[in-house]
Chains A and B, each alone.
Chain A
Amino acid sequence: MNFLPYLSTIVTFAFTVAVYNRYRQRGGMHSLLWAIGLFFYGIGTLSEVILGLTFNVFVLKIWYLTGAMLTAAWLGMGTVHLLIRKSNAAWVITWILTAVSVLAAVLIFTAPAVSASYNVALPASAQYKDILTRGGLTILLTILLNIYGTLTLVGGAIYSAFLFWRKKILANRMFGNILIAAGALSPALGGTFLKAGFTDMLYISELIGAILMFIGFVMSTTGSTVAE
């Protein structure tokens, strides 16, 4: 299973570049925020690659911060900007998320950790709780950030797909959003399996999630002639 993060990292960084290029070509804060979220996704899976080779407390903290706390929230933030364009609400939430992200980083990097018991042959997801001491606020922020991110990213994609279905237009974007929703749900399910003790499921779910979302993104954007 240790090869899965390699594939996830390649797919995710390719996805990040694709989304960032779209932002450079067509603008749109949602694209930039998605690129940031995907960059966190890629950093998280890259950390899994490194932790499969050697242990480093800093890398483990980066893995937890990006993978467990920030990725879903920043991806969801992009969707919020897409759906709520004229209101300042999206910007207010963005600044709140930025502040919360900084707080999360401070909490993680100042959290005590022990490295003696780490086994590189096992997934980081199976061991981090024994190494990284997480306070109540860290756990609370992790839960809130993931609820916000999953709800906005998956909910937004389902909602968009529903709109296209109802209007019977842009089938490519309708199917693309269904794939994005399914892909975004995959790591959320992996996290749930992780809590149930199926630690290997996280790596599989991350790869499936990245692939599905990438295909969904390509489907949604290919052949689009309408300027955003």
Chain B
Amino acid sequence: MPINNDWHFLLKDFFRGQALKERTKGVNVSANQHSRRFSPNKLTEKIVPALLVVLVIVLLAVFIIIGLSSVGLIPLT
């Protein structure tokens, strides 16, 4: 069974609500040179999720500050 788990496939797959593991069920994904799986380690298990959360918080903070200043609740110029 051919596997086409490139970036866009994953994005499209996500929107279709299909799990990747269902598409690759019974297939040794790690044997595919294009899959480029990485082994979980401290960096990917702890730091990456924390970074993503921080980015989301900063993104929300920017919008909240701009929103509050737009309605005059924060006296920015």
Contacts and interface: CB of A to CB of B under 8 A. Distances in A.
Contacts of A169: 5, 10, 35-38
Interface string A160-189: 111111011111111100100110010011
A160 B48 CA distance: 13
Interface string A64-97: 0000000000000000001111100000000000
A182 B20 CA distance: 27
Contacts of B59: 150-151, 154-155, 158, 185, 188
A147 interface: yes
Contacts of B14: 163
B10 A163 contact: yes
Interface of A: 82-86, 129, 143, 146-147, 150-151, 154-155, 158, 160-165, 167-175, 178, 181-182, 185, 188-189, 192, 195-197, 225-228
Interface of B: 5-8, 10-12, 14-15, 20, 33-40, 44, 48-49, 51-52, 55-56, 58-59, 62-63, 65-66, 69-70, 76-77
A158 B77 contact: no
Contacts, number: 99
Contacts of A178: 48, 51-52, 55
Contacts of A84: 15
Nearest to B29: A169
A202 to B, nearest CB: 13
B38 A168 contact: yes
Nearest to B65: A192
A44 B65 CA distance: 24
The list of the 10 closest CB pairs from A to B, nearest first, reads A226-B6, A195-B76, A171-B38, A181-B55, A170-B36, A188-B62, A169-B37, A226-B34, A154-B59, A158-B55
A178 B40 CA distance: 17
Contacts of A161: 48, 52
B58 A185 contact: yes
23 contacts: A83-B15, A85-B12, A86-B12, A150-B59, A151-B59, A154-B59, A155-B59, A158-B59, A160-B11, A165-B44, A168-B39, A169-B10, A169-B36, A169-B37, A170-B7, A170-B38, A174-B44, A174-B48, A178-B52, A178-B55, A181-B55, A192-B66, A195-B76
